[in-house]
């Protein structure tokens, strides 16, 4: 029984390592936006700055803004009704804006990271779900904080859609991943 458990752990460790090997090298400079006007993009920008990584954020990023020296677009998912109200937008407009920005980034040869960095609080309703699906379906890499994946949703999503998954302890660790 003990040998079987050790063998199972060994196989599981190999599977995680193989999956982790699929993560492309992340390169800056980065441009960051939010699909839902939540503070996730600001959190990524601040964490990157603390780590000495160039990451500009623009919560109203359009396809026309995806230009210049940027190598990677990071789009955070999860919505804020208060944030969208203050920005004069709604979830459908946010999804449309971000889909166009993602398409422009892919056309420019950029890597697209779909991120969820605010935990389960940004996974509570249909607007959050719509934002998450819109971002993750076209992302090259999925980046989440552990708290966002308490139920294994993003792990299963990444496995099912064959996308590399980066899980980090918390938003403060994001900058180190982007180095």
How confident is the model over 140-178, as pLDDT tens digits?
999 999 988 999 999 999 999 999 999 999 888 898 999
| Nearest to 162, CA basis, from 137, 131, 128 | 137
H/E element holding 167? strand 165-168
How confident is the model over 110-140, as pLDDT tens digits?
999 999 987 666 556 778 888 899 999 999 9
Kindly state the greatest CA–CA separation across the chain.
60
pLDDT interval class at 12 (50, 70, 90): very low
Q: What does the alpha-carbon distance between residue 102 and residue 91 come to, in Å, rounded to a whole number?
A: 16
* In the predicted structure, residue 37 carries a pLDDT above the cut 90: no
E strand spans, 3-100: 30-35, 55-57, 72-77
Mean pLDDT of the chain: 83
* In the predicted structure, residue 2 carries a pLDDT above the cut 70: no
Q: What is the dihedral of CA 142, 143, 145, 148, to 10 degrees?
A: -30
**Helix (H, G, I), strand (E, B), or coil: what is residue 134?**
helix
Q: Give pLDDT, residue 111.
A: 95
How confident is the model over 64-115, as pLDDT tens digits?
999 888 999 999 988 677 787 788 888 899 899 999 999 999 999 999 999 9
Q: What is the CATH number of domain 24-178?
A: 3.40.50
Cis peptide before 124 (omega within 30 of 0): no
Q: What does the alpha-carbon distance between residue 85 and residue 93 come to, in Å, rounded to a whole number?
A: 12
């Amino acid at each position: 029984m003990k040998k079987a458990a050790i063998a199972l752990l060994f196989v599981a460790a190999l599977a995680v390592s193989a999956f982790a090997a699929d993560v492309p090298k992340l390169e800056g400079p980065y441009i960051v936006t939010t699909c839902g006007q939540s503070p996730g993009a600001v959190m990524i920008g601040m964490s990157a700055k603390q780590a000495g990584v160039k990451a500009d954020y623009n919560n109203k990023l359009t396809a026309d803004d995806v230009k210049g020296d940027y190598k990677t677009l990071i789009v955070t998912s999860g919505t804020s009704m208060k944030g969208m109200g203050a920005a004069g937008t709604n979830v459908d407009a946010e999804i449309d804006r971000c889909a166009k920005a993602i398409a422009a980034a892919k056309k420019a040869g950029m890597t697209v990271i779909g991120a969820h960095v605010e935990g389960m609080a940004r996974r509570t309703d249909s607007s959050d779900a719509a934002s998450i699906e819109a971002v993750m379906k076209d992302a090259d890499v999925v980046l989440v904080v552990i708290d966002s994946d308490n139920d294994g949703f993003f792990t299963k999503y990444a496995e099912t859609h064959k996308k590399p998954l980066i899980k980090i302890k918390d938003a403060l660790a994001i900058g180190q991943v982007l180095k």
